[in-house]
């Protein structure tokens, strides 16, 4: 019988684990706290704890092919954390694969969290049935995952898809990366909240949303914006439209570069749902070669918070990791 794979999704608050069958069905979804604040060694111990819990539920490790880990930043093919995970102090430099092999006799592989989510959407979610897909995760920043000719594309060093740092406004808002006008300054959760604060400072209108922001200037989130969009607040709608115009520019650039069959939008910001998808679909034709946008659909991610853990497990099958 074909073996299954363990997937681990390394989040800032929780570690999520699951066992995935080759046919896409899964079992034993399990969570343990990440305890990121206690340092890299503790995070690794919690990963090992989660694997042990999954194997206990499974009753054996004989049915398991390997372990896939989806993580912020990059883990090298040798199992050492290379970096790019600012929310996990002491995580950089950790050797992740060796202790999994030693403790459980299982080989491990790893991918960036957005990349593995793109793999899951391509196989089991909004990218099913097409070959070329770009996934955007609109969260604190904007991450990108790319599937080309049916396979994950990460570039020679795992760095392809830095789409949040594509410039969409010349001489726009300064970004921590050193450029100005990066897409994530406008259309990430953080970017939308900042746009809301700025617009409320400038506007003469006195709507419920403007009052809300003035009372909660530091606490405002993209969810607050979309809650007020739902209520028809004109200033919130203007923030939404300005942000989505920038997202449409980014999607247009990605169309001209990749000519994908679908662009899949996911991440926390998309909890506002269909309104974002509609807005971007409406305007993307203005931002790229129209013959391309006519053949590309903007769709919402389907797997929600499970994309990461399913994609991490799927990585085991696609990297063709096998136990020695």
- The answer to whether 251 contacts a second copy (rule: CB under 8 A) is no
Please say which residue, 95 or 154, places its beta carbon nearer to a second copy: 154
- The answer to whether 221 contacts a second copy (rule: CB under 8 A) is no
Q: What are phi and psi of 119, to 5 degrees?
A: -60, -45
- The answer to whether 290 contacts a second copy (rule: CB under 8 A) is yes
Give the C-alpha distances (Å, rounded to integers) separating 196 from 169, 216, 224, 232, 272.
17, 11, 10, 15, 16
Shortest Å distance, C-beta 68 to a second copy? 20
Q: Which of 260, 266, 308, 311 binds a second copy (CB under 8 A)?
A: 260
- The answer to whether 32 contacts a second copy (rule: CB under 8 A) is no
Q: Which of 49, 80, 253, 275 binds a second copy (CB under 8 A)?
A: 253
- The answer to whether 162 contacts a second copy (rule: CB under 8 A) is yes
Q: Which of 2, 178, 320, 324 binds a second copy (CB under 8 A)?
A: 178
- The answer to whether 151 contacts a second copy (rule: CB under 8 A) is yes
- The answer to whether 80 contacts a second copy (rule: CB under 8 A) is no
Contact (CB, 8 A) for 28 and 54: yes
* Segment lying near a second copy (by CB under 8 A), choices 103-111, 120-128, 162-170, 315-323: 162-170
Please say which residue, 51 or 247, places its beta carbon nearer to a second copy: 247
Find the farthest-apart pair of alpha carbons in the chain and give their distance in angstroms, rounded: 68
Spell out the SS3 assignment of the chain.
CCCEEEEEEECCCEEEEEEECCCCCEEEEEEEECCHHHCHHHHHHHHHHHHHHHHHHHCCCCCEEEEEEEECCEECCCCEEEECCCCCCCCCCCECHHHHHHHHCCCEEEEEHHHHHHHHHHHHCCCCCCCCEEEEEECCCEEEEEEECCEEECCCCCCCCCHHHCECCCCCCECCCCCECECHHHHCHHHHHHHHHHHHHHCCCCCHHHHHHHHCCCCCCHHHHHHHHHCCCHHHHHHHHHHHHHHHHHHHHHHHHHCCCEEEEECHHHHHCHHHHHHHHHHHHHHCCHHHHCCCEEEECCCHHHHHHHHHHHHHHHCCCCCC
- The answer to whether 318 contacts a second copy (rule: CB under 8 A) is no
Q: Which of 23, 157, 215, 274 binds a second copy (CB under 8 A)?
A: 157
* Segment lying near a second copy (by CB under 8 A), choices 21-29, 158-166, 192-200, 215-223: 158-166
- The answer to whether 163 contacts a second copy (rule: CB under 8 A) is yes
- The answer to whether 289 contacts a second copy (rule: CB under 8 A) is yes
- The answer to whether 153 contacts a second copy (rule: CB under 8 A) is yes
- The answer to whether 186 contacts a second copy (rule: CB under 8 A) is no
* Segment lying near a second copy (by CB under 8 A), choices 30-38, 130-138, 215-223, 275-283: 130-138
- The answer to whether 132 contacts a second copy (rule: CB under 8 A) is yes
Please say which residue, 42 or 180, places its beta carbon nearer to a second copy: 180
- The answer to whether 76 contacts a second copy (rule: CB under 8 A) is no
Cβ neighbours of residue 221 under 8 Å, at least 6 residues apart?
Answer: 189, 193
Shortest Å distance, C-beta 115 to a second copy? 12
- The answer to whether 136 contacts a second copy (rule: CB under 8 A) is no
Residues forming the site for a second copy (CB under 8 A): 130-132, 144, 148-149, 151, 153-157, 159-163, 165-172, 177-179, 181, 249, 252-261, 286-292, 295
């Amino acid at each position: 019988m074909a073996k299954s794979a363990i997937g681990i999704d390394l989040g800032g608050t929780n570690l999520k684990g699951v066992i995935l069958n080759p046919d896409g069905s899964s079992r034993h979804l399990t969570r343990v706290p990440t305890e990121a604040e206690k340092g890299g060694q503790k995070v690794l111990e919690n990963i090992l704890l989660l694997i042990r819990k999954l194997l206990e539920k499974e009753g054996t490790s004989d049915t398991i092919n390997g372990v896939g880990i989806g993580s912020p930043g990059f883990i090298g093919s040798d199992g050492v954390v290379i970096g790019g995970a600012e929310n996990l102090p002491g995580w950089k430099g950790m050797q992740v694969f060796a202790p999994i092999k030693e403790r459980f006799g299982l080989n491990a592989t790893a991918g960036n969290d957005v990349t593995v989510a793109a793999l899951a959407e391509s196989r089991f979610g909004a990218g099913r049935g097409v070959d070329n897909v770009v996934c955007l995760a609109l969260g604190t920043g904007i991450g990108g995952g790319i599937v080309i000719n049916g396979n994950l594309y990460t570039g020679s060093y795992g760095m392809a898809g830095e789409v949040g740092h594509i410039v969409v406004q010349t001489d726009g808002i300064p970004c921590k990366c050193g450029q100005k006008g990066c897409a994530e300054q406008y259309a990430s959760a953080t970017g939308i909240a900042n746009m809301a604060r700025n617009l409320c400072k400038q506007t003469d209108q006195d709507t419920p949303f403007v009052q809300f922001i003035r009372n909660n200037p530091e606490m405002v989130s993209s969810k607050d914006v979309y809650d007020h969009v739902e209520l028809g607040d004109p200033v919130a709608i203007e923030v939404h439209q300005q942000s989505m115009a920038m997202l449409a520019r980014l999607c247009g650039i990605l169309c001209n570069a990749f000519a994908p069959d679908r662009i899949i939008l996911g991440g926390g910001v998309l909890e506002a749902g269909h309104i974002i998808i509609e807005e971007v679909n409406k305007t993307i034709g203005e931002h790229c070669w129209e013959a391309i946008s006519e053949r590309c659909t903007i769709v919402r991610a389907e797997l929600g918070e499970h994309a990461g853990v399913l994609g991490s497990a799927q990585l085991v099958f696609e990297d063709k990791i096998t136990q020695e």
